[in-house]
A and B are shown apart, each in its own frame.
Chain A
Amino acid sequence: MKRLPSTLALVFLPILAFTEPTLAQIDAQVSFLDSDFSAEYTIVKDSPGEGQSVTVAAMFRRDKDNRYLILILQPDADKGKGYLKVDNSLWLWDPVARRYTVTSARDRFQNSSARNSDFTRSSMATDYRITSTSQVKLGKFETTVLELEATLDTVVFPLRKIWVSAGDNLVRKMEDYSLSKQLLRTTAIPSYQKVGQRWVPVSMLIVDELRGKNVNGQLVKEKTQVTISKPSLGKQPDLLFTQAYLEKAR
């Protein structure tokens, strides 16, 4: 009798491993609804023919209130610039001009391949519906591929394809498409780090399928590497998620 549970586990494990994840389960793995989240993001944009540019930003998320604040720490020219998201409003603060610009989740973050929407909490369960599923091997990962279609007009990418690894419901790869099914960008997240009970990428590579240059007769696409360090779940003061806080950072 003692062996029964492990025998059952052996029988059911492959089935459980390929149970299709729901979008809510996928969102839950990377959302911090019980605490604040902060980390330092290092964003390296590699533009063919133009070289690399590095941006270091401090990220503070309060997922339960749908807020985030991002402050640019490097380069010096952009130091003190900040993004504040409160519900559906997103502002960009320019400390030199001392003015706010209303910006959009669709806009590129610091002109990189990352979009402002990439830094908010995952909301695929409300933004998309699943149109098809399949099982695919992605490198060493057994994954479920979910093809998604936006249910809201406000979603940045109307069509999306995600590769979700079996067992942990983490998105390992993502392809974003236009309504005409043109591939716009590909995101790869090979490894995650666990923070409390949730996960954040160690790094992610975003390949811009539309931006690039011909180098020696070959199209070399623009790439952005985002590396996340110093993650923390420590509580942040309410003041942090306000315009007044951004105005203080100069």
Chain B
Amino acid sequence: MRIAALMCALVLATAVHAQESDTLFDNPAADSVAPEGPKVDLSPILANPKPALSGSITMSGVGYAGWSQTPNPADLASNFDKGFGYDLSSSLSFDYKPDPTFHWSASFSTAIPAGNVTWSTPSIGSMYLDYTLADRVFITLGKFGMSWGAGRLFGVNDLVASAADDLSIKAFTPLGPLGFTGVMILPPVATTLAQLQWAAQTEGNLGPFTANLAGWYAASAAPKFDLWAKTVLWGADVFAESKVTLAGSVNPLSNVQVQALAGVYWEGFEPKLRVQGEWLIDSPALGWSDQSVALAASWSNIPGTGIKPSARVTHSFADSSGQLILGLEADPFLHIHVTLGMPVSWGTANSRWVKSTIATYHEAWALALKIDLSGGFSSDAF
């Protein structure tokens, strides 16, 4: 039936080339009653009777040069540093969807980190199953990642970020115009019911706005709530979000900590240009003066070059520190991926973003070149 429709469409599309569209009305097929026949079948994309296996291996080498502290223009040799590193990693993934209601997925990885000569003990990146109960509830259980909250650059409002390392059970069901998600998280050390973490969120549309309310609770920690609303303005995704932590030890309401976040995301053009901006205000640490802004942009390809540029700048007004990361990526040869990165930070030695840059990149200012040699396979033929 699909082949027949395809052939019909191809023939029609070709036939009308030589005609003006009005000639289609000279002798059209009569209006008809749609025939009873097969319905749309989604099983080709919701199920695959053959288990799928994929794997990859990557050898990475990094060379870098930079300053371990913010450089002093008068003494550039001071704190100058350079080095070389490597690692070898491999991963294996398994995916099985025997029918549209059941899905089993797992991924394993191992690596020889820099400075070592032996493979690490293979770890489970994810291992979960999805089950659709009576076409009404999606259930996921196992080790899997989730991402809640509207912000992406600061990543401060994701109430279930820890679930990626834990065992979780998630259930989702729509109820009228709203969608409800409930999550139970079992941390690795949990031995009693009191150590379980619980989270829930509901999402719905209010006119032009999408709104989401989420909550997180554990007996031994301060409960958290997150509320965000999102809309589209001039083609850009715009959101405002607020997270509240009830941190009072005896009376939770005696210590209410608030974080507010607002942001914009836009993508357009071909090749795709993506721009994101976020503003964060954090009350608990330094009062309402603790504000930060972040701006990121990336381009999927500089036309004619195959090079993908990106830039991200973050600045904290609380201690006047910040970080700029410039990046260029390309695949110059088969299996070879090259990344050129330049992290630059500013502020005092103990400021937030100088410390963060050194912790992540080992340098306050650096130029780094990373070359990945990788290959893999993907097969559903076993």
Contact = CB atoms under 8 A, between A and B. Distances in A.
10 contacts: A44-B9, A73-B45, A86-B205, A87-B207, A193-B32, A237-B135, A239-B174, A244-B172, A244-B179, A248-B130
A35 interface: no
B381 interface: no
A58 interface: yes
Nearest to A87: B205
A102 B237 contact: yes
Contact of B13 (A46, A60, A80, A194): A46
Chain A CB count within 10 A is highest, among B14, B25, B132, B177, for B25
Given A86-B205, A168-B31, A238 B44 contact: no
Contacts of A202: 29, 32
A241 B44 contact: no
B21 A173 contact: yes
Nearest to A46: B13
A141 B25 contact: yes
Interface SS of chain B:
mixed
Interface stretch (B33-41, B310-318, B346-354): B33-41
B5 A40 contact: yes
Interface string B4-18: 011011101110110
A71 B59 CA distance: 37
A188 B25 contact: yes
Nearest to B176: A238
Chain A CB count within 10 A is highest, among B6, B27, B207, for B6
Interface in A151-205: 168, 170, 172-173, 186, 188, 190-195, 199-200, 202-203, 205
Nearest to B42: A58
Interface SS of chain A:
strand
Contact of A138 (B17, B25, B30, B103): B25
Contact of A194 (B17, B29, B33, B137): B33
Given A104-B235, A249-B45, A195 B22 contact: no
A65 B21 contact: no
B267 interface: yes
Contacts of A238: 136, 174
B180 to A, nearest CB: 11
Nearest to B172: A244
Given A239-B136, A249-B42, A205 B12 contact: yes
Given A46-B17, A230-B40, A248-B103, A225 B9 contact: yes
A56 B3 CA distance: 11
Given A104-B235, A140-B28, A242-B179, A193 B5 contact: no
Chain A CB count within 10 A is highest, among B21, B22, B37, for B21
Nearest to A79: B45
Given A188-B25, A237-B136, A88 B208 contact: yes
Contacts of A188: 21-22, 24-25
Given A139-B22, A168-B31, 16 more contacts: A40-B5, A43-B9, A46-B17, A52-B10, A56-B2, A59-B40, A89-B208, A102-B232, A140-B26, A191-B32, A202-B29, A220-B17, A223-B17, A227-B9, A231-B34, A234-B39
B194 interface: no
A210 interface: no
A132 interface: no
Interface in B260-283: 265, 267
A94 B59 CA distance: 28
B286 interface: no
Given A225-B13, A230-B37, A42 B6 contact: yes
B205 A223 contact: no
Contacts of A138: 22, 25
A175 B126 CA distance: 52
Given A139-B28, A238-B174, A248-B46, A52 B13 contact: yes
B12 A225 contact: yes
Nearest to B10: A44
Given A188-B25, A242-B174, A39 B13 contact: no
A140 B5 contact: no
A229 B33 CA distance: 12
